Amino acid sequence: MSELVIRNLHATINDQEIIRGLDLKIRKGEVHALMGPNGTGKSTLAYVLMGHPNYKVTDGEVVFKGQNVLDLEPDERANLGIFLAFQYPVAIPGVTVANFLRTAINAKRKASNDEDKGIPIPEFRRMLKEKMDNLKMDHSFAGRYLNEGFSGGEKKRAEILQLAALEPEIAILDETDSGLDIDALRIVSDGINSLQSTDLGVLVITHYQRILNYIKPDFVHIMMDGKIVESGGPDLALHLEEHGYDWLRQKSETMA
């Protein structure tokens, strides 16, 4: 079984240590929720896992499919089967959703086989319509410029469409619920849940319990001061919603 294994990860930005000895294992088919206060390093972890150049790893390893992905470029990590849905997706004027997806799919295919000529247009169109139907998206969405003029909910749905089209094995969702109203949250969550039949491993990074009402986690982890200080099942998120983080701060201090 493929699994993403993070061991003793330390990472800095601008010489300030943000991740301070983090350990986590995510197997295919599992849903992990990562929660914690602002500034504790949750989004930093997402960026480090995908190779953001502003973050420097000072210790530890991240192993997937027998490789330390920290030695790979971001596109190589993506081609290996790791996906990041951004908290704040950027707009790409002049590039339609369909063209963006076809380019991404062809890049992934070529990484596996240098002689691959790319996905044939009729096959791509069939695939895209099928994915959009599964996500209950209007087909006209494919002709819009990526994220340009999109609402918050549309940006997040575009991220989930990318996830569906690229078919990774591990997905990192960085505060996908940020800025969504209840209806948009339900739609996006339904889209993520529809992909679980593919045995996708998911790391949901969130501040709030509400998305976990729709995406049911197998494991919940609490991150404070750059490391995981508590792990448990879905009830842990409910306990956190009721009691806040104060009961964990002393535990975090003793782990420092």
pLDDT digits 0-9 by tens, 92-118 = 999 999 999 999 999 999 999 999 999
Tell me the helix, strand and coil percentages in the chain, rounded to 5.
45, 25, 30
Percent of the chain with pLDDT over 90: 70
- Average pLDDT of 244-254? 70
Mean pLDDT estimate for the chain? 91
- Helix or strand holding residue 186 (H, E): helix 182-194
Q: Which pLDDT belongs to residue 125?
A: 97
Phi, psi of 68 (to 5 degrees): -80, 105
Percent of the chain with pLDDT over 70: 96
Q: Of 167-171, 217-221, 250-254, which gets the smallest average pLDDT?
A: 250-254
Judged by DSSP in three states, 220 sits in: strand
Per-residue DSSP letter, 209: S
Instruction: Give the separation between CA 250 and CA 256, rounded to whole angstroms.
Output: 10
Instruction: Give the separation between CA 237 and CA 210, rounded to whole angstroms.
Output: 10
If you search the block for the tokens 């575009």, which residue do you land on?
158
Q: State the pTM of this model.
A: 0.91
The CATH class of the 3-255 domain is alpha beta
Phi, psi of 150 (to 5 degrees): -75, 145
Question: What's the pLDDT band for 1 if we cut at 50, 70, 90?
Answer: low
Length of the chain: 256
Instruction: Give the separation between CA 206 and CA 194, rounded to whole angstroms.
Output: 20
CB 25 within 8 A of CB 34: no
Residue 210 pLDDT exceeds 90: no
Quote the crossing angle between the two packed helices 152-166 and 97-112, to the nearest 10°.
30
CA 202 from centroid of its chain's CA atoms? 7
Q: Which pLDDT belongs to residue 194?
A: 82
CB 188 within 8 A of CB 102: no
Instruction: Give the separation between CA 230 and CA 226, rounded to whole angstroms.
Output: 12
CA atoms within 13 Å, Cβ hemisphere of 242: 5
